[in-house]
A and B are shown apart, each in its own frame.
Chain A
Amino acid sequence: QVQLVQSAAEVQKPGASVKVSCKASGYTFTNYYIHWVRQAPGQGLEWMAIVNPTDSVTRYAQNFQGRVTMTRDMSTSTVYMELTNLRSDDTAVYYCARDPGYSYGYNYFDYWGQGTLVSVSS
């Protein structure tokens, strides 16, 4: 079955960086985009980034340009999201999500990771 398994919760200090992983299984890794979405406490869902696992091309939301980097490791079917220069308002649950748009031509997020809580506090 399709699974996206994310890394464990992290606590970081302001100014530090965090790298969250998302390991995919149960499907052909290169046939689906992977996105990162976050939810800060009391807030809604915020789209952050997308990677094409086939060619590693990435696109980022304007709000995170210069601070976020998505990478992928095809040998382990794992996608990584690194966020740098962390601020207290980066405290949130970060989700990865699969998107069949690469093959289907229509984008939607059909499977999600379990979420990773990143807490930023001094």
Chain B
Amino acid sequence: DIQMTQSPSSLSASVGDRVTITCRASQTITSFVNWYQHKPGKAPKLLIHAASYLQSGVPSRFSGSGSGTFFTLTISSLQPEDFATYYCQQTHTAPPYTFGPGTRVEIK
């Protein structure tokens, strides 16, 4: 199975900061990466699919990039509602549709 890792596991940032989260796959997955935002007590929310395609309705401050084994999710200007946990997911070799361990974004 393909393993996904994320870094950092958590970060503290201020409103307005630029935040970048990285995700690595244990083998090449071309662009088969999705990104989700998850807040406590809520269902996860799809942000990005196919590495860089912004889901309809998601603010343009979110962007994704990468291919092969290395991917990034960037929030260009962190907003109060962005404090959450972010997960990458690979769908290249599936099942299983593996999620990364998550990156928790906290208020500084």
Contact = CB atoms under 8 A, between A and B. Distances in A.
A45 B44 contact: yes
Nearest to A109: B46
Given A44-B87, A44-B101, A45-B38, A108 B46 contact: yes
Interface centre among A45, A61, A62, A97, by most chain B C-beta atoms within 10 angstroms, is A45
Q: Interface majority SS on B: helix, strand, loop or mixed?
A: loop
A60 B87 CA distance: 21
Contacts of A114: 43
B59 interface: no
B43 A112 contact: yes
A35 B97 contact: yes
A108 B95 contact: no
A109 B36 CA distance: 9
Given A46-B99, A47-B99, A106-B49, A115 B43 contact: yes
Contacts of B38: 39, 45
A66 interface: no
A50 B91 contact: no
Nearest to A44: B102
8 contacts: A35-B97, A37-B44, A46-B99, A47-B96, A61-B95, A62-B1, A95-B43, A114-B43
Interface of B: 1, 32, 34, 36, 38, 43-46, 49-50, 55, 85, 87, 89, 91, 94-102
